[in-house]
Amino acid sequence: MRLKNKNIVLTGASGGIGKHIAHYCDIEGANLFLISRSNDQLNDLLLSLNNINNKSAYFVIDISDEEAVIDTVKKIDILCEGQIHVLINNAGVQSPIGKFSTNSLNDWKENVNINLFGTINMIHAVLPSMIDRQDGRIINLSGGGSTGPRVNFTAYGVAKTAIVRFTETLALELISNNIYVNAVAPGAINTKMLDEIIASKEKAGKELLDAKVRKNNGGDDPKHVAELIVFLASEESSGISGKLISSIWDSWQEKKFQELLLNNKDLATLRRIDNKYFKNN
């Protein structure tokens, strides 16, 4: 049990990916503190867990609400005696979909508030206890649009790209505190976001056809991202920090690749290839 007695805070726990992450961490012996906006779904999820230490709990909040986040993390700190070992930032929204010129700016800002500032709120709240203990792991979920342009999904792409750069920068700030920060690209998993693309019709542009095909054929298996997150939450990944790792395309299970992540500072990061600092070979 690689996460035995680890106290893990998981946001977006009631969603498709969140449920898989919760179950995989639960199987590995973690105590889970689940966060989402859906009381019924969180309750059902908690009841479905083994919860071997009978310490897991859930909290219904909107992570874009800074005060609610601060209050919730204080409650979790009390429950786990200041021992929050891992934070997994999985909560996120995709809308608005469509050309930027037609987007509602209120919807656009709401996306960034949840995807980016929600993640920031959570990290800022858990860091004091992690720094006091000189130990911790933070895992942020990236997504489509963070490594290349994603037409008609500007808000989502901007927020997720910002999360990756924030991950890289924060990792450097916290490495001396023995706190490791990484981002994970989950792959094309069939969740409610896929249904949202299909419902948006022509606003999704070329992604509409891809979404319909994936709806019929099935997307990437969510077990891959759950397994990667368990690895990053465990002691097996010690020293790996500031990376964006794909659960589907990267061979992160292999020792050779893990050594490259440890020793190559530019691997799995956002960089500009311009033949001045980084060569386009």
- What percentage of the chain's residues is helix, strand, coil (to nearest 5)? 50, 10, 40
Dihedral sign, CA of 146, 116, 247, 165?
positive
Task: Give the whole-angstrom CA distance, residue 167 versus residue 140.
Answer: 8
Task: Give the whole-angstrom CA distance, residue 64 versus residue 124.
Answer: 12
Task: Spell out the residues 6+ positions from residue 39 whose beta carbon is closer than 8 angstroms to its own.
Answer: 60
The packing angle between helices 192-200 and 207-217, to 10°, is 140
Annotated catalytic residue within 58, 156, 180, 277? 156
- Tell me whether residue 125 is exposed, middle or buried, using C-beta atoms within 10 angstroms of its C-beta: 0 to 12, 13 to 18, 19 or more: buried
Active site residue 180: no
Give backbone dihedrals phi and psi of 251, rounded to 5 degrees, phi first.
-90, 60
- Write out the H or E segment, with its range, that includes residue 36: strand 31-36
Alpha helices (H) in the chain, listed in sequence order:
16-27, 39-48, 66-79, 105-112, 118-133, 154-174, 192-200, 207-217, 223-233, 255-263
Which residues are catalytically annotated? Answer: 156
